[in-house]
């Protein structure tokens, strides 16, 4: 099974990417494609630029989704919403195929240094990603990343760790069916 993974961030020190990498340790028996949104850098979307054609990167983003069997992602929250980097890729891709996520099962996550763990971007994504073709199977938000996460050992808090592990197990069962 091919797993596409990404963080909704272009930060070189992305905490969302750390969370994704922690989760991917439970998917070592699968083929993993961990992409970096920096490799999908495009002009800021506008209807005027769109008239000049679609960037190759937008097609490539849709292609990596097409080629996967499941998606694991964690979204950064900027000003209560998607990061500009993710939104730009999302906007370009949605203009080629509004069903961006192409019915792929998704483990959707978010984290932030704050106590809501990117809960606002999570609420937006879990509400609206299905309209863009995502089959959101599980969701997880990790609050206070710097208190609750260790780079070596992952989620520290036992209850949060169990919650995430249970969701990973359920997701695995759902994508294997």
Ligand X SMILES: Cc1cc2nc3c(=O)[nH]c(=O)nc-3n(C[C@H](O)[C@H](O)[C@H](O)COP(=O)(O)O)c2cc1C
Footprint on this chain of ligand X (rule: CB under 6 A): 7, 9, 11, 14-16, 76-80, 112-114, 116, 118
Can you tell me whether residue 53 is helix, strand or coil? coil
CB of 165 to ligand X, least distance (A): 21
CB of 39 to ligand X, least distance (A): 16
Cβ proximity to ligand X: between 14 and 138 the closer is: 14
CB of 47 to ligand X, least distance (A): 25
Angle between helix 56-66 and helix 84-96 axes, rounded to 10 deg: 80
Chain-centroid distance of CA 132 in Å reads 14
CB of 49 to ligand X, least distance (A): 23
Cβ proximity to ligand X: between 11 and 139 the closer is: 11
Gyration radius of the chain's alpha carbons: 16
Cβ proximity to ligand X: between 44 and 173 the closer is: 44
Structure-token match 């195929």, residue found = 97
Chain-centroid distance of CA 16 in Å reads 8
């Amino acid at each position: 099974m091919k797993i596409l993974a990404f963080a909704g961030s272009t930060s070189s020190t992305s905490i969302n990417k750390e969370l994704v990498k922690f989760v991917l340790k439970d998917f070592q028996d699968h083929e993993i494609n961990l992409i970096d949104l920096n490799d999908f850098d495009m002009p800021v979307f506008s209807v005027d630029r769109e008239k000049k054609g679609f960037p190759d990167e937008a097609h490539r983003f849709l292609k990596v989704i097409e080629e996967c069997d499941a998606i694991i992602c964690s979204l950064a929250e900027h000003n209560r919403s998607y990061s500009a980097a993710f939104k730009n890729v999302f906007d370009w891709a949605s203009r080629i195929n509004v069903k961006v996520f192409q019915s792929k099962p998704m483990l959707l996550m978010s984290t932030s240094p704050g106590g809501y763990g990117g809960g606002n971007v999570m609420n937006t994504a879990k509400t609206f990603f299905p309209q863009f073709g995502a089959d959101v199977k599980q969701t997880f938000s990790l609050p206070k990343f710097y208190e609750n996460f260790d780079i070596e050992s992952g989620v520290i808090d036992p209850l949060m760790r169990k919650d995430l592990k249970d969701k990973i197990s359920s997701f695995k069962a759902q994508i294997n069916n």
